[in-house]
Amino acid sequence: MNKFIYIVFSVFFSLVVVDTAFAGNPDRQGEAGAYELLMNPWARTAGLHTMSTSFVSGVEAMRLNVAGLSRAKGTEIVISHARYLEGTDIKMNAFGLAQKVGKNGTFGLSLMALDFGDIPVTTTANPEGTGGTFSPNFFNLGLGYAHVFENKISVGILVRGISESTSDLRAFGFGLDAGVQYVSGPQDNFKLGLSLRNIGSRMSFGGQGLSQQLSAPNDNDNSFLLTYNTRSAAFELPSVLNIGISYDFIIGGEEEAMKSRLTILSNFTSNSFSRDQVGAGVEFAYKERFMLRAGYKYDLGQANVPEEKNVYTGFAAGATIQVPVKKDSETSFGLDYAYRLTNPWGGTHNISLRFGL
């Protein structure tokens, strides 16, 4: 078992070296695409500013560290809605399913879509609008699998399809996520997690929206038109590396149902196309029925120039209520809420409904 752990961590640290070798810097900000892959629709992890790399579990693990998918118990279904940057009318909707397979394996399905609302159609001839509206379709679908070994180390992998389109433009690509979680201590108090996300194909747009009719060369009377197609530049996915640790302080009696938990965590995020980030957080769980959490994330090398600051100020908080549907039942219902402070706009609100079967 120790040899296996050594091999897994060696592979992962090799990936870290590769990621660092090709990592970008703040000067590359905006050069990647598909930034919706960095947006978090799930409320429980959003309440910790997406920093629970070491102990995230179940459906939400497919957005941060897929290894945590193996920590799901039985069947887990989560439906989530988020109001992204309140005031922009952008919304996130997500659905996730985790299904235990055998004793140690878990399959997962994750869907996320963005709703941009109705955007006025403008043209060069009608810059004030034509009277019509359109709404882009941003959608991604992930299929993941995670396996836990002797309840100490979990590994997982996820393949995600990414689609972005309008009525006359579309782009499609694939991304790959991988992750590891390690648990140790007398009561599994210490946890370590590593995840590498959004490693995949370059994407580019194509379609009728990139074509236009122009006069043929040397056609002075404009009687002969040709259709010209413009090739769009390809863009990379916003790859990101997360390394997180956490420790659980167990409070309460001998019985498992009577125990409460106080978890402290820290997390480092390496972004290939923006500044690296570091943060810390805390989560208190009363008998795993009621939870409060808060976190703060800071951009390393952050400039004092307002135009270069992150829209998120760094603070996030959330709460969870999770109860069985009836006494002594393994079926449970949960409600999660999170808020992330932003400047400008009115923050990001996440709410999730959780069903455990």
The string of pLDDT tens digits covering residues 82-96 is 999 999 999 999 999
Tell me what the mean pLDDT of segment 3-20 comes to: 49
Q: How far apart are CA 160 and CA 37, in angstroms?
A: 10
Residue type, 242: N
How far is CA 139 from each of CA 9, 66, 67, 114, 162, rounded to the nearest angstrom? Answer: 33, 19, 23, 7, 6
pLDDT at 349 over 50: yes
Residue type, 108: G
CB 112 within 8 A of CB 36: yes
Q: How far apart are CA 14 and CA 12, in angstroms?
A: 5
pLDDT at 53 over 70: yes
Tell me what the mean pLDDT of segment 121-137 comes to: 89
**What is the value of pTM for the model shown?**
0.89
CATH of 2-201+237-356, one of 2.60.40.1220, 1.10.3720.10, 2.40.160.60, 1.20.1090.10: 2.40.160.60
pLDDT at 253 over 90: no
Q: How far apart are CA 318 and CA 238, in angstroms?
A: 26
**Looking at the DSSP assignment, which residues form a beta bridge with residue 261?**
250, 285
Reduced to 3 states (helix: H, G, I; strand: E, B; else coil), residue 59 is helix
User: Rounded to 5 degrees, what angle do the CA atoms 337, 340, 346 make?
Assistant: 105
Reduced to 3 states (helix: H, G, I; strand: E, B; else coil), residue 139 is strand
Residue 282 host element (H or E): strand 277-286
Summary mean pLDDT of the chain: 88
Q: What is the pLDDT of residue 138?
A: 96
CB 293 within 8 A of CB 301: no
Per-residue pLDDT tens over the stretch 274-315: 889 999 999 999 988 999 999 999 998 766 666 667 899 999
Q: How far apart are CA 319 and CA 335, in angstroms?
A: 8
